[in-house]
Structure 1
Amino acid sequence: MKNLIFYTAITLCIIGCISTTKTTIAKDVRPPEQAVKITNDSLEYEIIIIDPGFESYLQTIAKPDNFYSQSYYEIKNKFYVTEWNIRAQNPLKYDSSIYENTIDYNFNIDYGLDVNYKLYNYFKFVEYKYNQKF
């Protein structure tokens, strides 16, 4: 099973498929009720975004997932992930309570529309909620 782990902002966690190591997660560990969880059995990844208000943002403010193409989301995510990682590596310059960890997003993996859509909208949510400009 391939896994890709991202920890961002308050508690954004993305688990994807880039490693061949098998990871097990205790069955008793469950994300809070407000968590947004995306899974894909064929790629064996999941995204868990735990940030108060993100689910509401997706339902009320974000454009529908098919508003842009997957390639559009991928291009934007390359920019956002790169900028996010720069900020996460500079805690004296940027708010470390927002940019807690870097994101290990492999630009050569096809995560699909759903993952790219939600990741893109998480960055838009951070801009909206924390008044950040990328």
Structure 2
Amino acid sequence: MKKEYSLFINISVLGAIILLWMSCSPTKKSLSFSKDEQQAFNQIEGDTINISSDKTEYDIIIIEPGFNFWLSSVAKPQGYHSQSFLENRNYIMVLEWNNRVIQSSRYDPNLYELQIDYSSQIDYGYEVNYKLYNYFIYFQRKYNQRLGPFVPRI
């Protein structure tokens, strides 16, 4: 009886080691970029995009080389996602973004410079949410980052 018990323990430990090894193995897939997306990522001159809505007093200013080109040539068109989808994703990504700004010793402070003031209780309008969401997708793909549990897809 004692041998069966120790055999069971050994199998369990082996199973735990295999599970641990499997969970640590890299599962990150390499992203592939279209010609237009690669062209946007290679731009050096800064684009300045003012994200605002006629209906609200909120706006966001993004200074990022290539984002304007990427938004017009690569991103899904306005209306592709619902406003609630965009708001939910933005909320998740803003939380992670702000955590990375706070943890500047752990994350590159050149990538995460300023916190984003975004509240799920405020209706920023479709355009603000659309452009913010697409900026997050652009940023994640260009700098190989992950701002949440979702793979940044186009």
TM-score, length of structure 2 as denominator length: 0.62
Structure number having the greater helix percentage: 2
Structure number having the greater strand percentage: 1
Q: Does 1:104 align with 2:117?
A: yes
1:40-55 to structure 2, matched below 5 A, reads 40-55=53-68
RMSD of aligned residue pairs (Cα, Å): 1.7
1:63 match? 76
Q: Does 1:89 align with 2:102?
A: yes
2:49 match? 36
List per-residue Cα deviations over 1:13-66 (Å, max 9, x = no partner): xxxxxxxxxxxxxxxxxxx98312233344222222111111011011110121
Structure 1 residue ranges (4+ consecutive) displaced by more than 3 angstroms after TM superposition: none
Distance 1:34 1:127 in 2: 17
List per-residue Cα deviations over 1:103-123 (Å, max 9, x = no partner): 111211100110000001111
Distance 1:72 1:90 in 2: 28
2:7 match? none
CA deviation after TM superposition for structure 1 residue 102, in Å? 1.2
Instruction: Give the AA of the match of 2:112.
Output: Y
Structure 1, unaligned stretches of length 5 or more? 1-31
**Percent identity, aligned pairs only?**
48
